[in-house]
Amino acid sequence: MKNLEYFMRLNYVIEIQQIPEAEGGGYEACIPLLGRKACRGDGETIEEAIEDLLGVKKYILEARISQNKPIPEPQSVEAAFPSGRLLLRIPPSLHKEIALDAKASGESINRNIQRKLESAFAYKELKAEISRLSNKIEALSQTVETTNLFPTYIETTADNSLPKRLQNPVYQFAENKPLGSTVLINM
């Protein structure tokens, strides 16, 4: 029978968070598997928080054992990660298409599916990166549109009309220095 000593020796995952100074400071430690809100301790240092947590852990385990309540056990590290083996049920028509595609590509069905899954995830990551960059470019273009980096001086005549040589649409900018009577245009 599994007793308190057995459960106390199990390596449960402990999460540690720093408590903001506005809330008193220090650290909080918890064992999510035994109850994120119930199984937690705190202290000025990480060590104190873990020591407090171990006392709470012992209390919770004793209570569950005395009440014959189930106690979750942590998974081993090996069990926490996928093995790389996957059993998948698919319609026969799809299986046939995959088999024909794999044969045409000169690869096994498993390799064919693996390559396609890798491509799909790479595409998803690429699409997210393109979206992120697009948003960044949009933000930069908004900044450039609202910022006048190059004030342009345009020469005017006495009646504030453009001289004939600048009325041609090719002349969008004059030299960046005042010429006679000038007007500052924000473009």
Q: Per-residue pLDDT tens for 97-142?
A: 999 999 999 999 999 999 998 998 888 888 889 999 988 888 887 7
pTM of the model: 0.42
Count of CA atoms in the C-beta half-sphere (13 A) of 116: 11
Return the DSSP state at 20.
P
Q: Rounded to whole angstroms, how far apart are CA atoms 79 and 101? A: 34
Residue 46 per-residue DSSP state = H
Burial of 61 (0-12, 13-18, 19+ CB in 10 A): buried
Q: What is the pLDDT of residue 146?
A: 57
